[in-house]
Amino acid sequence: MMRLYMVVFVVFLSVAGSAYGAEGIKVDIPLVLKDVKVVFNMDHLAFDGDIPVGINYMRLLVERMKDHKATGKIVAIFHSNASYMTLKDETYNKFRKVTTGNPYRKIITDLIAAGVELEECMVSMGAHGWVNSDLIPGVKVNGGAVGRLIQLGQEGFVAIQP
């Protein structure tokens, strides 16, 4: 079922209206976005070049919501293999054994500024010995990623598994 959501979401991003469709494409079912409730399950690594697919989809959805004047909420839950993407530069360097700093910091801070709620799993943090001050400012800590995904599903959020 998650794969279906991903396919639907990719199509949504590709032809979200006549302004986004390629010339010669006839949209039979135009999109009308109103109250968007989406949770991104950021639990594994998936990249398009150097950019994480899920982070890019979040950015694109923020733009589409503005274009459609849609209300709603986007939540991103980072855990498991992708948990390190929310780290401050110093902790990122130590964890990844690099000196570059977190290359996702700017886009993450931009998403937070745009109203996207980014969350880190306390279980993943505990497994790595991280504390709240190791996270990029504005990233919230939840009580467990799997439980939080269930909670948001019960609240009517559509789960995206990029």
Q: Rounding to the nearest 10 degrees, give the CA dihedral for residues 54, 45, 159, 67.
A: 0
Burial of 38 (0-12, 13-18, 19+ CB in 10 A): buried
In the block, residue with structure tokens 């039979």: 28
Give the pLDDT band (50/70/90) at residue 96.
very high
- Higher-confidence position of 90 and 10: 90
Q: Tell whether the model's pLDDT for residue 104 goes beyond 60.
A: yes
pLDDT, position 114: 97
pLDDT, position 4: 41
What's the predicted TM-score (pTM) here?
A: 0.83
What are the angstrom distances between the C-alpha of 13 and each of 63, 65, 95, 132, 153?
Answer: 10, 11, 33, 33, 22
Instruction: Provide mean pLDDT across the span 29-39.
Output: 91
Q: Tell whether the model's pLDDT for residue 124 goes beyond 90.
A: yes
- Higher-confidence position of 90 and 45: 90
Q: Which residues contact 59 (CB under 8 A, 6 or more apart)?
A: 107, 110, 111
pLDDT, position 20: 53
Cross-strand pairs, 52:
47
- What is the fold, at CATH topology level, of the domain defined by 31-160? Hypothetical Protein Ychn; Chain: A, (3.40.1260)
Give the pLDDT band (50/70/90) at residue 19.
low
- Higher-confidence position of 2 and 64: 64
Q: Tell whether the model's pLDDT for residue 153 goes beyond 70.
A: yes
Q: What residues does each domain of the chain span? A: 31-160
Burial 16-28 (b: 16+ CB within 10 A, else e): beeebeeeeeeee
Q: Rounding to the nearest 10 degrees, give the CA dihedral for residues 84, 87, 90, 91.
A: -50
pLDDT, position 14: 43
Q: Tell whether the model's pLDDT for residue 9 goes beyond 80.
A: no
Q: Rounding to the nearest 10 degrees, give the CA dihedral for residues 33, 53, 158, 31.
A: 20
Q: Which residues contact 102 (CB under 8 A, 6 or more apart)?
A: 85, 87, 88, 89, 92, 108, 136
Return the amino acid letter for 3. Answer: R
Cross-strand pairs, 71:
35
